[in-house]
A and B are shown apart, each in its own frame.
Chain A
Amino acid sequence: MSRAVPVAAALGLALSLAAGAVSAGAPAKSGAASSNDPTLAALEDESARAVRELRLPGMPEPYLVTATVLDDDELELRASLGSLVLRRRERSRHLKTEVRVGSRALDSSGFMSDDGAPLVEYERVPFEPGYGPLRRALWLAADRAFKSATARYEAKRALRESEGGAQEQPPSRAEHAPVLSLGERAPALPDDPGWVALCQRLSAVFRAHPAIHESSVRLSALSRTRTLVDSDGTRVVEPSALVRVEIVARTQADDGMPLVHHAAFAASALEGLPPEAELVAAAERVAVELDRLRVAPLVSDYAGPILFEDVAAPELLRPLLADELSGTPLPRAAFGGTVGDASALEHRVGWRVLPLGFEVVDEPGFVGEGGRALVGGYRHDDEGIPGERVSIVEDGTLRALLTSLTPSLPASRSNGHGRAGASSTARGLPSVLLVTTRRGVSRPALRARLLAEARAQGLERAMVVRKFDDPGVTGSSLTPTGASGAVTLPAPVLLYEVDLRGRERLVRGGRVESLSTRDLRRLLAAGRNGTAYSYLASAVARRGVWVGDIPATILAPDLLVADADVRRPTEPPPKPPALPPPPAK
């Protein structure tokens, strides 16, 4: 999902940063959902009973029960070549239940037992409002969660005792005051605000491009109410919405090389999509650029400076920076080690991670163009903690990581970035990540710097990436490339060779290799204006996972990297189609 932020918005960003403003979005209307609400009442009554009465003889008692209800109204549409292929509408309610036994100092969380029992119970429950069915579902879920938490706690304690107590351990759960915020419930999705016709019209653009083998337009809309209740008194009701349009097209070059191109848009309000003309233009651009890519020359291997322009800059920062900002410790595993990949920046607080002049802020309440919250924003995170503006990097130096209610030794409190997705436990993840630099330069100046660097390295050309493939949108598989330690990046969609006179030429087939988070320290230069890239992050702490359900946005300026490789694929391409396409008429 990408959307260029107009200059005004970029200026707005600069102003808000300059003023150090803490924007929390529009205040929630308190009392919109009251304690008479059957959903709240059922969760309150049963979580209170569970923490009070659930006991196993000789075993630690529960000290916290947290229940989250996700009420979803979803629509999915898919169209191809002007025809509707799929229409799916579904209302659902899911209950997520966590029971913690022990105490905040040491509890049953953050530990994966041998049997792989989930850390939270997650199940579908009746979506129609009512006290009885929900309370009954929580009764059974809390029962299961309590039993598995007890077993986990004992296994975790046994592991700790076998390790000796030399190393200081953070507590299991941070302290926080109960949060009370009863927002309005999210509205039902409108029956069809012209979305079916919109998908058909957007997909019909590809009818005029017979050399494109496959194309589809997908529109998805989600209207969600999250209701969180814990046995310590936190009550949060918060609505959210997410509408996405994804235009994906595929073809093969004459030599058989598969090519994919896409355009993606996302909005955090049901009416927040760009105007149709803008979407049609994007579909046209995908079609025209893919037609050009089909006949573009194959890239030659390259090592040297690369300029990441437009959405390619935030796309690059997703794996190199955003995915490495979690300050939440990884769960321990019964079989040893941890579950997931530790953040590359975990022990780098106080170190320089970007060039001087760079600032990185994560602001869940950031308000973009037209006073509208950006995709990924929220008032309270998935643990019910108010989302704080966190100054992550100041003048190039890492100052803080994004934290949840699971403390680490350096960070004892949550800064409201505990994000969980639907069925996982929360960990610190970005919401709206704003990357800026005081030393940003104009695009012509950046180009000049790119060419100067190429010259200085004795090269006859330089490379520009303007867009990467997004496996979360196109479904492309991501085969690891490059040296170990380097991050695997998706293949660039729009990759240009630029000669020393500045003439650019679209090429196909390159992969950018050998970049890692450390390389960000040696960025040569950056632009002035930010481009937004919205995506769905995964709750799984694993590198290279590009599909998830946690909305986030990165705003970043163009970035000039001093040294990276571009390599053409080594595997032979598949065959072109065995028979020509059917006639257009």
Chain B
Amino acid sequence: MCFAGFTLTLALAVGGCGPERRAVSAGASVRSAALPVAERRLALERARPPRAGEPSELLGVMQAELARAMSELQERGNPPPYYLAYTAYDLREVTLSASLGALEVDTDERRRVADVDVRLGDPHRDSTHSRDAPGEFAEPADLPRDADPLALRRALWLATDAAYKRAQANLIRVRAEARVNVAETDDADDFSREAPTRLILAPEPLTVDRDAWRARVRGWSARFAAHPRLERGTVSLIASESERVFVSSEGAEVQTPRTHARLLIQGEATADDGSVIERSELIDSHSLENLQLDDARVMARLDAVARDVEALARAPLGEPYVGPVILDGPAAAVFFHEIFGHRIEGHRQKSESEGQTFADKIGERLMPAFFDVYDDPTLVKAGGVDLNGFYRVDDEGVPAARATLIERGVLRGFLMSRSPVRGFPRSNGHGRRSPGYRALSRQANLVVDPAQVTTRAALTQALIAEVRRQGKPYGLRVGEVVGGYTMTQRGDTQAFKVEPVMVYRVYPDGREELVRGVTLEGTPLSALADVLAAANDFSVFNGYCGAESGDVPASAVSPSLLLGKLEITREDKGVERPPLLGAPPAEAAR
């Protein structure tokens, strides 16, 4: 099972509505060609050339110890490794969180950790090989925060020793399994050959005026007092800085900084039937400055969260349904991330415990012919919004590159790490992981990019036409999705489950009614085939995605989509009554 841990959404319409040119044809199923064509407005920005920096002292120490360890292990190792890599992460995270005008969390944590990758055997079959369960975790080693060579090298030495011993045990297992079991269907190598990367960038230190941010977060959170129906309301700022230093026995030297800032607004209440209603707003960016937060913008977002919670608490429960659905841009972005993005990860095409939904479908039509889908980590912004999935070099030291996945509706490729798949011997720079994990191919910036788009208004009209054609009492519009999961393991139902928060019934007269307590379910191939049309309102979803190689920052970009049918089921709900007493006064009476 693959869990995609997107937890929160940011909707931002970056397109506008163009003039309608054609009417929707009645009677037959909606065809995109029958819809008015609108101007396609997807403004994507690539990163500017980076600022070169000097190799840090840490990098020098890591190289020295790596060279020594490789040489010692060539002499004493049984067997000697063919590959050794060190990654150090210099991490800092500032968190400020407040509720009702008072700070709840106020931390500034720094940590430096290191991971060691040792490979024994040879690139065709090595100690990392796993027939059915990719993914491996080893607690990263703590490194001293200064550049003292003795302390750093001793920590790296112990981490190397532990990683080498794990690799020895793994290699014995790999070789035994190869002799005991039948041959694997995909005999691709375990490790691709790539030219070593050298990229040394200048650091980007995070500067946080903590006093000023304390005051802002505190002040914003006080606004929740104006929404007494909410049981909880918090505003949090999380600003982080991480410098990654990567060196390998192949000669790679990578030193890249990353900063990130996030404002998180959360509200919660209990509905009368015991359902816990949670709603969040998230603003992500590459720096505190890029957050561009002013009081009016934050208040508007906070009020929207509170209003949504209040409306959801009153909304009727949805019922099981199958029929036409519009996924608004942010929901469509998460939907694609879940149902398609995770299944297109390279390692899932050869792991024999995986469903391998797309392994043999290269060259086959999966979607209407006007759809392109690709993943491009080198994109820095879409529609002016910073993309979480931007990076220059992946976690295996391979330069990031665009991966073409669906071209004109036809499957063309996979997200590739350095673990090759039959027919795809090279990485396209999508080997990603969080500290402690082994890298696997993962999404970065997934872009759903139809060549043909219509206006948002026409898409709604098309939904209504489809409702009438199918004889349904209503269609659905899914405004936002908080996350979901997709089961990719063989033996499981190859299904996805996506959890929407804002779901509206759309009646044939155009009226909308909010409902709650439903989930979207389906299977990937039929869901992709059911996409009928797209609008021109591209949106960005920024989040952190969790899977077998840890949590990685990721984005998805998509316009609103019309699906001919999608199935809705009831979600699990709580049973606890709402609070028995009314909220207490905010001030003491004495």
Contacts and interface: CB of A to CB of B under 8 A. Distances in A.
A202 to B, nearest CB: 14
A124 interface: yes
Given A83-B145, A126-B102, A54 B581 contact: yes
B76 A579 contact: yes
Nearest to B78: A578
A41 B580 contact: no
A133 B102 contact: yes
Contact of B158 (A53, A214, A580): A214
A140 interface: yes
Nearest to A577: B161
B196 to A, nearest CB: 23
Contact of A85 (B72, B106, B142, B580): B142
Interface string A101-133: 000000000000000000000001111111111
Contacts of B142: 78, 80, 85-86
Interface stretch (A87-95, A225-233, A263-271): A87-95
A80 B156 CA distance: 13
B103 interface: yes
B157 interface: yes
B31 interface: no
A91 B586 contact: no
B100 A132 contact: yes
Nearest to B153: A582
Given A41-B590, A83-B144, A131-B587, A579 B102 contact: no
Contact of B231 (A41, A135, A140): A140
Contacts of B77: 578-579
Interface stretch (A42-50, A174-182, A558-566): A42-50
A130 B579 contact: no
Interface in A11-50: 35-36, 38, 41-42, 45-46, 49-50
A128 B103 contact: yes
A46 B581 CA distance: 11
Interface in A62-99: 78-93
Nearest to A41: B588
B151 interface: yes
A41 B77 CA distance: 68
A36 B589 CA distance: 11
A207 B102 CA distance: 45
Contacts of A88: 107, 109
B88 to A, nearest CB: 13
Nearest to B578: A143
A311 B368 CA distance: 76
B584 A46 contact: yes
B511 to A, nearest CB: 36
B165 A575 contact: yes
Given A83-B144, A579-B157, A128 B69 contact: no
B322 interface: no
A82 B151 CA distance: 8
Contacts of A136: 100, 583-584, 586
Contacts of B583: 136, 139
B164 interface: yes
A84 B146 contact: yes
A139 B150 CA distance: 54
A490 to B, nearest CB: 23
B104 A125 contact: yes
A413 interface: no
Contacts of A125: 99, 104
A213 interface: yes
A581 interface: yes
Contacts of A79: 144
A42 B152 CA distance: 50
B150 A131 contact: no
Given A81-B150, A83-B148, A127-B103, A139 B581 contact: yes
Nearest to A580: B72
A298 to B, nearest CB: 23
B110 A135 contact: no
A545 to B, nearest CB: 22
A130 B157 contact: no
Interface in A544-581: 574-575, 577-581
B431 interface: no
B104 A582 contact: no
B72 A579 contact: yes
Contacts of A447: none
Contacts of B76: 578-579
Interface in B133-158: 142-146, 148, 150-158
B100 A581 contact: no
B210 interface: no
A53 B148 CA distance: 63
Contacts of A92: 105
B587 A81 contact: no
B328 interface: no
A56 interface: yes
B465 to A, nearest CB: 47
Contacts of B109: 88
Nearest to B100: A133
Nearest to A78: B142
B588 A42 contact: yes
A384 B245 CA distance: 53
Contact of B104 (A53, A127, A579): A127
A514 B346 CA distance: 56
Interface string B50-91: 000000000000000100110011001100000000000000
Contacts of B102: 126-130, 132-133
B150 A53 contact: no
A54 B109 CA distance: 41
A220 B311 CA distance: 47
A90 B107 contact: yes
Contacts of B148: 81-83
B77, B106, B577: residue with the most chain A Cβ atoms closer than 10 Å: B106
Given A133-B101, A579-B164, 10 more contacts: A83-B145, A86-B111, A126-B103, A127-B102, A131-B587, A135-B585, A140-B231, A207-B150, A578-B77, A581-B154
29 contacts: A41-B590, A42-B588, A45-B588, A46-B584, A79-B144, A82-B151, A83-B145, A83-B148, A85-B112, A85-B143, A89-B107, A90-B107, A91-B106, A126-B99, A129-B102, A131-B587, A132-B585, A132-B586, A136-B583, A136-B584, A147-B580, A207-B150, A578-B73, A579-B73, A581-B154, A581-B157, A582-B65, A582-B153, A584-B150
9 shortest A-B CB distances, which residue pairs? Answer: A83-B144, A126-B102, A132-B586, A582-B153, A81-B151, A579-B72, A128-B102, A83-B151, A126-B104
Interface of A: 35-36, 38, 41-42, 45-46, 49-50, 53-56, 78-93, 124-133, 135-136, 139-140, 143-144, 146-147, 207, 213-214, 574-575, 577-582, 584-585
